[in-house]
Amino acid sequence: MSEPQLAPTRRQLLGMIGTVAGASAMYQAMAMLGVAHASPYTGPVRLEGDPQGATVLVLGAGLAGMVAAMELRAAGYSVQVLEYREKAGGRCWTLRGGDRYTELGGAEQEVAFTEGNYFNPGPWRIPYHHHAVLDYCQRLGVELEPFLQDNRNAYLHSTTAFDGTPRRQREISADYRGHVAELLSKVTDQGALEQMVSAEDRALLLESLRSFGALDSEMRYQRSSSASGRRGYERAPGGGVEGEPIPNDPLDLSSVLQSRLWQHLSASDSMNTQMPMFQPRGGMDMIAQAMQREVEDLIRFNTRVVALEQDDEGVTVTFEDRRSPGSTEQLRADYCVCTLPFSVLGQVDHNLSGPLSNVIDTMHYASSIKVGLEFDRRFWEEDEQIFGGITYTDLPISMISYPSNDYFRRGSGVLLGAYSWGATSYQFNALPPEDRIARALDYGAQIHPQYRDHFTSGVAVAWHRVPWVMGCYGIWQDKAAQYQDAVAMDRRVVMAGEHLSYLPAWMEGAILSSLDAISRLHDRVVNG
């Protein structure tokens, strides 16, 4: 016998309506992944009590490492930092004209961007609720400006829909919402929801659907001034003799559904991509530079850690000066905060505990490719009136992000010309940098034909080939079972970084992890 069919509750009905809009489904999915909640950061860390001259060695001068160094020194610790690179910041990284970058395998790229242009291979935006990042920016004087995540005048593109012609996001958004609202209004008006909602709520639901979908008085989504007010006009409102606007025809429901372009409409609905978002003026590494100025005297650059050994009295780290290969030195400290990615730490000799070692050995890192493309004019603004935002495509480049700075500036600009993950990124990784750039140009020209006429230079960063991380962010084998083993104090060593948070791949996760780690370390030192 089949189970009885229960009528949805009012809450379930409202949830279904939210899903039509896209936000609810995305938010629930993100919440289950642990990345959709606002940051719990409430203000500067308070490390009270005298550490009595305790020494701490910090491994890695990314954001997690520098936050640890800043706050521990302020609390009275003697701190030293070892950093693989010639500068601090880790994945908080910006490339500008004149920079050189050598990836694993030896391929070198020299960035030829015009002065003032830049490209962020790693983090490129800051959500409004990432309170720790924003607080450190304020405290350190990092100037922020808006980052435009969502732009309805950018494109949605599929090689299999509309003969490969890009469609403005506003068209797909308006037509999808309009058609779904019309369908739901018909179901409501025909009495199919009588057991779900009251008569009063049905009337309110119909009223809301008319507004939500830009439906006419007959609850139809069709050519009208209200629909064109969202999707665009055949002739836009103007002045004078021909000032009266002329509506255009919506796409039919089947075309919208078959295009599958609707799947991108929720891209800005998760909390981590909702507006407003921000970026540092001049490049993401303005955050790293500000932190480096605070702790530069503590950092020893160009060092490669080769061994991490601890005993009951302290921690000994063996490292190699990258400018003098083969020669090693050692540093000794009472405690160690290790912010090395596990992809790197797994290649370091250590005597960490079995449970922690298991996490280190089983964590792999996501593959990602980013390509920055410079053009001699900002054709996306001048020709297509796209100011910031993101175009989404089923091409291997996945997206094109337009700069959210220097609007209306005459001259060159840099696009994020590819940002792909998974199997697609592996295809890019296998190519030399110049071929990655060429592929990004070929694909992007299918959306913007101006690419070929105005391209000047590019840079391509494949994250599995970045020497100091060898991947984009940490992926757990079994986070539920392993997480506490990884974040626990391991005698005199504590781990920190984005991989040890529920905000993976975000700078906020790195900072929150660091603050938690040093708080527990300080409690151990002061209270035993």
User: In whole numbers, what is the pLDDT of the chain averaged over residues?
Assistant: 92
Place of tokens 């929801």: 193
Q: Where in the chain is the domain with CATH 1.20.1440.240?
A: 169-267
- Span 171-180, pLDDT tens digits: 999 999 999 9
- Span 238-278, pLDDT tens digits: 999 999 999 999 999 999 999 999 999 999 998 899 999 99
Please choose, from the candidates 523, 474, 525, 477, the residue with its C-alpha nearest in 3D space to the C-alpha of residue 496. 474
Given this model, what pLDDT does residue 31 score?
Answer: 36
d(CA 307, CA 519): 25
For residues 345 and 202, the model is more confident at 345
Angstrom distances, CA of residue 52 to CA of 124, 181, 298: 40, 67, 19
DSSP calls for 130-157: -HHHHHHHHHHT--EEEE----TTSEEE
Q: Are 457 and 438 in contact (CB under 8 A)?
A: no
Partners of 280 in the beta sheet?
144
- Span 324-360, pLDDT tens digits: 988 999 999 999 999 999 999 999 999 999 999 999 9
Grouping H, G, I as helix, E, B as strand and the rest as coil, residue 110 is strand
- Report, as an integer, the average pLDDT of 494-516: 97
Rg (CA), the chain: 26
Q: Where in the chain is the domain with CATH 3.50.50.60?
A: 55-89+294-363+483-527
CB-based contacts of 150: which residues, under 8 Å, 6+ apart?
Answer: 267, 268, 273, 275, 389, 390
d(CA 527, CA 124): 40
Report the predicted TM-score, pTM, of the whole model to 2 decimal places: 0.91
Which conformational region is residue 162 in: left (phi greater than 0), alpha (psi within -120 to 50 degrees), or beta? Answer: left
Please choose, from the candidates 503, 421, 401, 499, the residue with its C-alpha nearest in 3D space to the C-alpha of residue 462. 421
Given this model, what pLDDT does residue 188 score?
Answer: 86
Please state which CATH class domain 169-267 belongs to: mainly alpha
Q: Cα angle at 128 between 70 and 395, to 5 degrees?
A: 110
Q: Is the peptide bond before 355 cis (omega within 30 degrees of 0)?
A: no
CB atoms within 10 A of CB 25: 16
Q: Are strands 315-321 and 328-333 parallel, antiparallel or unpaired?
A: antiparallel
Given this model, what pLDDT does residue 37 score?
Answer: 57
**Is residue 1 pLDDT above 70, yes or no?**
no
- Span 9-68, pLDDT tens digits: 444 444 444 444 433 333 333 333 334 457 899 889 999 999 999 999 999 999 999 999
d(CA 402, CA 279): 13
Partners of 127 in the beta sheet?
277
For residues 516 and 24, the model is more confident at 516
Given this model, what pLDDT does residue 17 score?
Answer: 45
- Report, as an integer, the average pLDDT of 485-503: 97
Q: Where in the chain is the domain with CATH 3.90.660.10?
A: 95-154+275-283+366-465
- Report, as an integer, the average pLDDT of 107-135: 97
Residue 1 DSSP label: -
What's the fold here for domain 95-154+275-283+366-465? Polyamine Oxidase; Chain A, domain 2 (3.90.660)
**E strands, 164-231, where?**
167-168
CB-based contacts of 44: which residues, under 8 Å, 6+ apart?
Answer: 135, 139
- Span 415-448, pLDDT tens digits: 999 999 999 999 999 999 999 999 999 999 999 9
What's the fold here for domain 55-89+294-363+483-527? FAD/NAD(P)-binding domain (3.50.50)
Q: Are 510 and 136 in contact (CB under 8 A)?
A: no
d(CA 394, CA 260): 10
Q: Are strands 413-421 and 233-235 parallel, antiparallel or unpaired?
A: unpaired
Q: How confident is the model at residue 189 (pLDDT cuts 50, 70, 90)?
A: confident
**Is residue 459 pLDDT above 50, yes or no?**
yes
d(CA 466, CA 414): 21
